[in-house]
Structure 1
Amino acid sequence: MPIQIFVVAMVLAGAVLLGRFVTGRTGIPDAAAYVLLGVAAGLLPGMAGVRLSPDLVLLLFLPPLIYYAAFFSDPRETIHNLVAVLGQAVGLVLVTAAAVAATLLAVFPDVGWAAAIAFGAAVAPPDPVAAGSVLQRLGAPRRLVTVLESEGLVNDGVALTLFAVAVASVGAPASAGDVLTHLVVEVGGGIGFGLLVGVLTAALRRRIRDSTSQVLLSLITPYLAFVPAQLVQSSGVLATVAAAVWLGTRGRGLVEPTSRLQTETFWRVLNTLLVALLFVLLGIQVPSIVAVVGYYPPGLLAVASGAVVVVAIGVRMAWVLLVPSLAGLLPVREELTSRMTFRERLVLGWCGPRGAVSLAVALSIPLVTPTGQEFPRRDLLLFLTVVVVLVTLVGQTVPLPFLLRRLQLRPDEREQTEGVRARRATVDAALRELDDVAARDEPDPPGAEALRQVLELRRDRLRDQLDPGSDRGRTTPDDDRDGDGDDPRPDRLDASDLRLRLVNVERDMLRTLHEKGEISRPTMVAISQELDLDETQLRRRR
């Protein structure tokens, strides 16, 4: 038994490492590469017994993945696209579930509406990780990524709620009152409990100074929100989102820069590892699930699979292309609707790959109904879920780079230069602080003049990058602060107190730019992490 566990662990680790290598060399989307390698691993001897437990996904993987995405999300950008986000996270999930259920019933009428809706809820919510990573890597317009990621924070909760209601109704139809009560408890209870966890965690983080304890507390926070909410029949997804958004918008200033830098670095590594493992495990399940439905006529399976896939993709495409035109007629403020172009909506409609959550939900379909009867065609529902996941995950993410290039979608001039403009504003603020020091006749600390020269050099280079005629190129929020890793850094000067003072001035300016809406949250977080690194290095050398 220990040898088998060791072999499985080595296969998983090898698939993850190979997936990183393949995606880095070929440009294939991460999720597609991991799933395909997982399918290949599932064919190896001894791997057929590896099972992806739905509890493992819903209780171990899902909370930290949701927490990471919500923590670094931008609520302000989400509000600016609120109609599109809610329309796709709620309306599109419900419509997709109904359309898929109707399609399934047309081929297998004996499944019944409740079981068909349960299946529809499983395959309705897209996984934003697979497509979102491609969009970010290729530099798609920010509102595309914002709508896709914001949709992904809510649609899992909607789908899981609908799934729970449908499964409970198989063989024992629920009344409209029961359904409404269930929805209120799921949504309201989840959001309320998540906010409570966020407030209490923020209060606790104020009193903790140890970096390791801060990392540990941040790790258990999503589970503190998700698991208890699930136990009281509320939405663990919405609870985790609420806690993460509260801490992300209120909690970054609660901890020391060193602890914040270590915590955020830990989460980036953990998120990458969890995503890779989850998609590899998803692929490993494919051979065993396909083998279970061998007694069905191949032609019937092909018809059902094709129909369900076409409907799942087509409904999303139709919704994204047609509904925004109708949403413009709603009596809502214009700033709450995303004014996307047709090309942007076309890409957003295509970004609907299903992922591990869909498979985990399908795997959680019970063997028997609440009345004790065998659940209708459970093996078939699992097989069709695998087909939808594989076709959309590979078939929609692999052509996505070509689609973006073909449609010539890229960030506008303001988005492209946002990081440079923010860095220049922080440098200007630091130089003004140096001028104020001189104006107050304070004695210049050692290294002050050299520090001024470094800041002026950085400002000049940032100005060159903003010049449309410059051939230096433009930076993004993830670029180096000064655009050149070989530039002299202020941490080489012997003026620690003054440099720390200027770092705080730059941080204040960065916060002001974000509060005024001049920069996005990803830009603020990226530059803030650079300032945290500067401060950490300075304090270590004092």
Structure 2
Amino acid sequence: MIQDNLLLVLCLLFVISILTMLSSKLKIAYPIFLVIGGLLISLIPGIPRIALQPDLVFLIFLPPLLYAAAWNTSWNDFWKYRRPISLLGFGLVIFTSAAVAWISKALIPDFSLACGFLLGGIISPPDAVAATSVLAGLKVPKQITTILEGESLVNDAASLIVFRFALAAVVTGQFNIWDATQTFFVVAIAGILIGLAIANIAYVIHRYFPTTPAIDAAFTLITPYIMYFTAEHFHVSGVLAVVAGGLFLTYRSQDIFSYDARIQVLGLWDTLVFLLNGVVFIMIGLQLPGIIKGMENYSVGQAISYAIVISLATIVIRIAWMFPGAYLPRILFKRIREKETKPTWQGVLLTGWSGMRGVVSLASALAVPLTLANDKAFPHRNLILFITFVVILFTLVLQGLSLKPMIRWLKIRGDEKDAENMQALDMRLRLANAVLAYIDDRYANEIETNDTYKRVRDRYARMIEITQKKLDTREMTEEEKNFLPHYRQMLLELVQIRRRELNHFRHTNTFSEELIREREYELDLEEARLRG
């Protein structure tokens, strides 16, 4: 077991770090590289077999990964695109599950419709990390990435609910569509309410209790687990609890964290998310030998043919859903036509092509029990596992690697850059104006009598002048165009000069180590601000 072998875990983390650096060098999204790397490592003779326990994924990995994804999602953007996100996160999951159920029943001998829905529920949700990681280095419209990230936050919940119903139908042999529909909404709504309730408690603790940056950071690690475990205890959606709570807290984050707590929390979560994502993706690749070994009633050739057909079907089903989902509501409802801009067919196609599967699918497949209620072997369990693995590998590698040439072929460009630059200039202008107004009101006498105060005021006045010219798109002299970049470069050089002096102080024992570290931290903050 992975949790019993510390050396194996450390080696795994080392390999993940090396492969991630190599993927960055080769400009390949690291989830793709890690899955392929894990697959190749698993084929090396003598490599210990590592079993990915579904409970480990659902209880250890899933809550923090979902919480981090929710934390990095803008609530305003999420709400703005709630209609397409809901259509993909809930509608497409149910549609995919039903379509895969009928296709697999027709394709695989003795494969029941209940087993088909089980397989459909397992492979229906695209992976949040895979989509955002693959698209991170590509210039695509922000609307597409926002919809994909929002979809990935809610589709895990929908797929796991479908999975539970289908699993119950296979195990017990009974299924009632009306009861299942009612339970679906109860499970989803109750999960959201529990997540929001715990998020409000966390908000009160962060805001009004005497916490420190370390306590704030630790509490952010605990919060998603509390949300998930509480919801699961009451047999409702732990996924939606974490997502709802994470979205609420990120919306109120400016009220609950001090500057040093925010820096510490962000650094902690960046490291944690990197390690967790790396582990789950490389573990996907490492599962293949164990999955193939469990194939008893089917030849590998048969299983591969079934898996490829179903993999292609999941891609086609998603694209087939995308176009009616994007355009039919516009045709039927005037309000949608008036409120929302018309999506381009290229953007709709790209969104449809970006449905890479990931760790939740594999964890769900591994969670299928070995036996039924009557102690008979669970039908087609090993085949379901194998098909799930191939769907993950097929969609992640094929779609992930083809996204860049597809974007080039479709001539899709992230055209928000100019608008974002203008917004950044506008923000800089407003902030500088606010500072200048405050200085003139609060320190008018000091400005008249003290050159230091006057220089600060002159710097902001100069910033306002240059920014206003950029916004007005007037002709600027070369000196004016280069003022801020050169000024920033000078400040960075001054930071390095101070770093060298601190290093000299450390080697000559001129000052205490504690004092030197405090000054280093101040320089780190200053450099982060300048480079940001």
TM-score range, shorter chain: 0.7 to 0.9
- 1:344 aligned residue: 347
Q: Deviations over 1:33-65 (max 9, x none)?
A: 111111122223454420111111111111011
SS for the counterpart of 1:156 is helix
- 1:385 aligned residue: 388
- 2:432 aligned residue: 427
SS for the counterpart of 1:296 is coil
Normalised by the length of structure 1, the TM-score is: 0.83
Q: Could you say if the C-alpha distance between residues 27 and 370 of structure 1 is closer, same or farther in structure 2, counting changes exceeding 3 Å?
A: same
CA contact (8 A) 2:73 2:150 kept: yes
Q: Whole-Å Cα distance in 2 between the matches of residues 154 and 330 of structure 1?
A: 25
How much has 1:265 moved relative to structure 2?
A: 2.0
- 1:497 aligned residue: none
- 1:447 aligned residue: 452
- 1:410 aligned residue: 414
* Corresponding position: 1:277 with 2:282: no
How much has 1:142 moved relative to structure 2?
A: 0.9
- 1:234 aligned residue: 236
Q: Could you say if the C-alpha distance between residues 482 and 143 of structure 1 is closer, same or farther in structure 2, counting changes exceeding 3 Å?
A: farther
How much has 1:158 moved relative to structure 2?
A: 0.3
SS for the counterpart of 1:31 is helix
| Pairs within 5 Å for 1:122-521 | 122-170=122-170, 171-206=172-207, 207-293=209-295, 296-331=298-333, 332-334=335-337, 337=340, 339-406=342-409, 407-412=411-416, 413-438=418-443, 447-456=452-461, 458-459=463-464, 462=467, 467=473, 485-488=488-491
CA contact (8 A) 1:16 1:277 kept: yes
* Corresponding position: 1:83 with 2:87: no
CA contact (8 A) 1:189 1:234 kept: yes
CA contact (8 A) 1:103 1:307 kept: no
How much has 1:79 moved relative to structure 2?
A: 2.2
CA contact (8 A) 1:66 1:241 kept: yes
Q: Whole-Å Cα distance in 2 between the matches of residues 155 and 254 of structure 1?
A: 29
SS for the counterpart of 2:489 is coil
CA contact (8 A) 1:118 1:162 kept: yes
Q: Could you say if the C-alpha distance between residues 424 and 369 of structure 1 is closer, same or farther in structure 2, counting changes exceeding 3 Å?
A: farther
Q: Whole-Å Cα distance in 2 between the matches of residues 177 and 294 of structure 1?
A: 37
How much has 1:344 moved relative to structure 2?
A: 1.1
What amino acid is aligned across from residue 290 of structure 2 in structure 1? S
Q: Which aligned segments of 4 or more residues in structure 1 are displaced greater than 4 angstroms? A: 1-4, 332-338, 438-446, 456-472, 481-485, 532-537
Q: Which runs of 5+ in 2 are unaligned?
A: 479-483, 496-521
- 1:509 aligned residue: none
CA contact (8 A) 2:131 2:149 kept: no
Q: Whole-Å Cα distance in 1 between the matches of residues 371 and 2 of structure 2?
A: 33
How much has 1:101 moved relative to structure 2?
A: 1.4
Larger deviation, residues 221-230 vs 372-381: 372-381
Q: Whole-Å Cα distance in 2 between the matches of residues 464 and 362 of structure 1?
A: 59
Q: Could you say if the C-alpha distance between residues 391 and 465 of structure 1 is closer, same or farther in structure 2, counting changes exceeding 3 Å?
A: farther
Q: Which runs of 5+ in 1 are unaligned?
A: 473-480, 493-529, 538-542
Q: Whole-Å Cα distance in 2 between the matches of residues 3 and 252 of structure 1?
A: 37
Q: Could you say if the C-alpha distance between residues 280 and 250 of structure 1 is closer, same or farther in structure 2, counting changes exceeding 3 Å?
A: same
What amino acid is aligned across from residue 50 of structure 2 in structure 1? V
How much has 1:277 moved relative to structure 2?
A: 1.4
Q: Deviations over 1:178-211 (max 9, x none)?
A: 3134213311210110011000010111213311
Normalised by the length of structure 2, the TM-score is: 0.84
CA contact (8 A) 2:34 2:282 kept: yes
Q: Whole-Å Cα distance in 1 between the matches of residues 161 and 336 of structure 2?
A: 29
CA contact (8 A) 2:304 2:387 kept: no
How much has 1:429 moved relative to structure 2?
A: 2.3
Q: Whole-Å Cα distance in 2 between the matches of residues 384 and 29 of structure 1?
A: 23
* Corresponding position: 1:19 with 2:19: yes
SS for the counterpart of 1:398 is helix
CA contact (8 A) 1:82 1:337 kept: no
CA contact (8 A) 2:292 2:300 kept: no
Q: Deviations over 1:243-292 (max 9, x none)?
A: 11111112331221111221122112211221111101111112221232
How much has 1:440 moved relative to structure 2?
A: 7.6
SS for the counterpart of 1:399 is helix
CA contact (8 A) 1:84 1:324 kept: yes
Q: Whole-Å Cα distance in 2 between the matches of residues 445 and 236 of structure 1?
A: 60
SS for the counterpart of 2:491 is coil
CA contact (8 A) 1:154 1:238 kept: yes
Q: Could you say if the C-alpha distance between residues 13 and 344 of structure 1 is closer, same or farther in structure 2, counting changes exceeding 3 Å?
A: same
- 2:512 aligned residue: none
How much has 1:444 moved relative to structure 2?
A: 6.8
Residue identity (%): 30
CA contact (8 A) 1:208 1:214 kept: no
Q: Whole-Å Cα distance in 2 between the matches of residues 425 and 78 of structure 1?
A: 26
Q: Could you say if the C-alpha distance between residues 66 and 470 of structure 1 is closer, same or farther in structure 2, counting changes exceeding 3 Å?
A: farther
Q: Please report the RMSD computed on the Cα atoms of aligned residues, expressed in angstroms.
A: 3.1
User: Size of the alignment, in residue pairs?
Assistant: 490
- 1:63 aligned residue: 63
Q: Whole-Å Cα distance in 1 between the matches of residues 241 and 188 of structure 2?
A: 9
Q: Whole-Å Cα distance in 2 between the matches of residues 464 and 37 of structure 1?
A: 51
